[in-house]
Structure 1
């Protein structure tokens, strides 16, 4: 095993002692017997260590000892992209620092250097600490059956089909284009583009959602990832869509998500997002006051448990960063944002 993976028996025993691998042992002589799954698991561990992951973090990533080949490869790809994005952030920060030290006009360039270093540290912490507090893995098997489209005291999925249809009709993609669906879930939005000859890359942080999506739509390229670390290279996709996903990010991270989308989107590319959001803060207050007056505690709890966006903030960021923006209101808590990126940066 050590020869195959270009490592040492000592390293293998170390990861066994840390309970990262679990090879069987021959009862007669104590020899370790490694399976193909052990090989894949150990290969993933070595790859993650190579890019700087700590043992405790690897143990968390590989919590399931019976992961499939695809799952192991997905974990490696996402980890490498996260490190690559982190390195790009570091290089950009260093470039800014160098410019400040070369510029003699600043009274105290060290203040700006300290600010940029703090900003970089904050970015690293946000990406590192991103977690799914809603446990979407547990939703995957019954997700499509449990979407509430009508009735109930408060229905977050009211006008669900209308919103997805609006996204599909608004974004102008053509045959041969590549479209990224972020938070793809079981593929209800991304699959609408397959018949048009558009290649779909579906990203989700939930392995179970990706598995469900792949069962329903084998043609979709499913990849583990999330809004703050998209497993794509720069300028790789012609379009980006997302539905009912952005509201799971705190407001402080939504603009980082738009930055990450811009990184992977080609010049001239398009973004179209259907999500739970308010038009602006006045609209949020008006809607929430209405629910409280009606004693609709279910609605108040549901909204406060998540992070419904301020649509005006998202639209302003997109406009400021080279997009032509249109917005469409579906109902009081549901909107669609469409943004076309300028052809040149």
Structure 2
């Protein structure tokens, strides 16, 4: 048992801070007969945790909820990390805009140019922070692997699924000293192929439930809550990046922002491999849709129009304009593999 003065000294904080957390209901020490608060070892431990979590930005409301429900703080820390990376990127975007504004401030018509830049910044902030999952992958997580059927449907997006993942894994040509990132990792099916080689992997997904299943299947995985437009990764943290069946949830415009985020987090001599639903170009998209319409396959038409199958030519053009070499491999009319590498690396053989 300890008095408040002893607790404050032990934890390197103030009595006022401890009383504040009492007022917020985070701790409730009993009072001795003399009226002094008495703190048990368990309460001192809770205070130590509270102080640590407050230091990294968790709110007293979040901490109280976790303590009241005896929750694991890991989920709260995952949320906080994701939010902090978003904040970091927003600060960078804002600094870059300020730099551009300084450049144009000496020119004529600077007011109009600066306003345009402000609008661009606002739009970028909204993209990074407001992306939402329309398909509710949290609810799909538990049965996701069981529902991946490679045959038996009139329109089957998972045809060649296993082949695509195997080829994506092979094309990376990962070595033991490298570290990879799987974006939109889901339950970790592609991640697992690299883990079998002993290669450390970061699995990024916006679905907490998908990440939970991934962690259960592959406990050695570093799971991180996040999404394509705001990756919870430092600059040049990844030696290679992979993604399967995820990029088509973004609009074409947002896909280019996603590629820029991959470029930011990819190290020198790095590479990206994406297996996803896409068409060669807009003409190919129209041709495939017309074919399904003519055959009366409304299921296919609805599925394609519900999501954002990529224009492969647009992705390739972005990479080439940013110093990458690109290789493409089609599995069928809607599933393609793309390999992009910074120019120093070799394009893999078929």
TM-score between the two structures when normalised by the length of structure 1: 0.83
Find out whether 1:71 has 2:72 as its counterpart: no
Distance 1:176 1:293, change over 3 A: same
SS at match of 2:240: strand
Which of 93, 98, 104 is the equivalent residue of 2:102?
98
Quote the Cα distance in structure 1 between the aligned partners of 2:341 and 2:254.
21
Aligned to 1:84: 88
Aligned to 1:138: 139
TM-score between the two structures when normalised by the length of structure 2: 0.82
Quote the Cα distance in structure 2 between the aligned partners of 1:301 and 1:37.
53
Quote the Cα distance in structure 2 between the aligned partners of 1:85 and 1:221.
21
Aligned to 2:217: 216
Distance 1:40 1:134, change over 3 A: farther
Aligned to 2:296: 295
Aligned to 2:342: 341
Quote the Cα distance in structure 2 between the aligned partners of 1:200 and 1:165.
16
Quote the Cα distance in structure 1 between the aligned partners of 2:118 and 2:344.
32
Find out whether 1:127 has 2:157 as its counterpart: no
Quote the Cα distance in structure 2 between the aligned partners of 1:329 and 1:148.
20
Quote the Cα distance in structure 2 between the aligned partners of 1:302 and 1:311.
18
Quote the Cα distance in structure 1 between the aligned partners of 2:260 and 2:194.
24
Aligned to 2:34: none
CA RMSD between the two structures: 3.2
Partner deviation per Cα, 1:104-131 (whole Å, 9 max, x = no partner): xx43233222221111111111112111
Aligned to 1:320: 321
Over 6 Å off, 4+ runs: 1-6, 23-26, 33-43
Question: Are the equivalent residues in 2 in contact too, given 1:41–1:72 (CA < 8 A)?
Answer: no
Distance 1:121 1:322, change over 3 A: same
Question: Are the equivalent residues in 1 in contact too, given 2:183–2:227 (CA < 8 A)?
Answer: yes
Quote the Cα distance in structure 2 between the aligned partners of 1:45 and 1:229.
23
Question: Are the equivalent residues in 1 in contact too, given 2:58–2:80 (CA < 8 A)?
Answer: no
- Matches for 1:1-345 after TM superposition, within 5 Å: 7=17, 9=19, 47-48=56-57, 67-102=71-106, 106-343=107-344
Partner deviation per Cα, 1:257-299 (whole Å, 9 max, x = no partner): 0111111001210000000111110000011111111111111
Question: Are the equivalent residues in 2 in contact too, given 1:267–1:342 (CA < 8 A)?
Answer: no
Partner deviation per Cα, 1:1-26 (whole Å, 9 max, x = no partner): 99678757557756x7xxxx8x8999
Instruction: List runs of 5+ in structure 1 lacking aligned partners.
Output: none
Distance 1:283 1:216, change over 3 A: same
> For structure 1, which segment, 295-304 or 257-266, has the greater mean C-alpha deviation from structure 2 after superposition?
295-304
Q: CA deviation at 1:165?
A: 1.1
State the number of aligned residues: 324
